[in-house]
Amino acid sequence: MKTLLFIAAFLMLGLTVSAAETKIMIRAKARDAKFIGSSLGGAHIIVRNKVNQQILAEGNTTGSTGNTDLIMKGAKTRGISITDPQTAGFLVSLDINEPTFVSIEVISPFNNKQAQATVTTELWLIPGKHILGDGIILEIPGFIIDILKPRTHQYISLNSIKGKPFPFQANIVMMCGCVIDKNGVWNSDEIEVKGILKKDGQYLKEVNFSLISTNLFEGSDLLNTPGNYELILYAYHEKSGNTGVDKVNYVVYE
């Protein structure tokens, strides 16, 4: 009898300690836009055990930004997927033997440091209970802005620009890399783009920017005096609450 009880206890112990494969699909989606995938270098994913902060999985999302019609134009109905097999994601496979509370951290866009945002969530993972399909979707707000002109710490001769507008230029895209264009899915007419110009650390004026070609915005101003200048460029979309900023310093000399 004791032998049978020992065997039964051993079998029960074996059931509790044997690990079960548990799969989780994790995706990063730009706010009011599409998924972040290979074309932008991916979003970086870190999955940690909340108890001891051990990293259980780490990697980048890969795949396409997804189907525009499905994501942006289709009716949002409960239970209807907004992804397809090509849509970017990071598939995690863990062997766990008991319910595990994890944190999921998404850093994106991973290759555009000035625009990076970090978003996290927490949830219980249950052994053998997969979370697939659309999976866990974390939303990344903002715009990616790269000031193209002037260049960082560019020295500009006052004589070369005196009496004529100096052009400022910036490339602006959604956080998934999706394009901004006039009357496009992401309409440039709905996005406020302005530059805050400072000279020697003091506010000077605002500069209005407008779209001149896909993703490319331009503004201009007369630079009449030498000094150390800073341009703080921002984009703001009221409907979605998306914002983005980039800064550049340059020098005007006589």
pLDDT tens digits, 233-244? 999 999 999 999
Summarize the confidence of residues 191-202 as an average pLDDT: 97
Three-state secondary-structure class, residue 107: strand
Distances (CA, A) of 72 to 68, 185, 189: 6, 8, 18
Tokens in use for 67? 């189907």
pLDDT of residue 3 exceeding 90: no
Instruction: Identify which has the larger pLDDT, 144 or 17.
Output: 144
Are 24 and 125 in contact, with CB atoms under 8 Å apart?
Answer: yes
Peptide bond into 226 cis (omega under 30): no
* C-alpha–C-alpha distance, residues 174 and 30, integer Å: 7
pLDDT of residue 9 exceeding 50: no
Summarize the confidence of residues 150-155 as an average pLDDT: 97
H/E segment holding residue 170: strand 166-174
Q: How confident is the model at residue 15 (pLDDT cuts 50, 70, 90)?
A: very low
* C-alpha–C-alpha distance, residues 216 and 167, integer Å: 12
pTM: predicted TM-score of the whole model, two decimal places:
0.89
* C-alpha–C-alpha distance, residues 22 and 225, integer Å: 64
Q: How confident is the model at residue 6 (pLDDT cuts 50, 70, 90)?
A: very low
pLDDT of residue 167 exceeding 70: yes
Are 169 and 147 in contact, with CB atoms under 8 Å apart?
Answer: yes
pLDDT, residue 18, reads: 82
* Cβ partners under 8 Å of residue 246, min gap 6: 114, 115, 145, 146, 147, 170, 232, 233
What's the CA angle centered on 140, arms 180 and 232, to 5 degrees? 60
Contacts 24+ apart (CB under 8 A), 10-17: 16/97, 16/98, 17/97
* % of the chain residues with pLDDT over 70: 93
Three-state secondary-structure class, residue 221: strand
pLDDT of residue 73 exceeding 80: yes
* C-alpha–C-alpha distance, residues 39 and 11, integer Å: 50
- Identify the burial level of 252 via C-beta atoms within 10 angstroms of its C-beta, where 0-12 means exposed, 13-18 middle and 19 or more buried: buried
* C-alpha–C-alpha distance, residues 160 and 203, integer Å: 24
| DSSP symbols for 19-61 | -EEEEEEEEEEETTS-B--GGGT--EEEEEETTT--EEEEEE-
pLDDT of residue 22 exceeding 60: yes
Summarize the confidence of residues 16-42 as an average pLDDT: 93
- Mean pLDDT across the chain, nearest whole number? 93
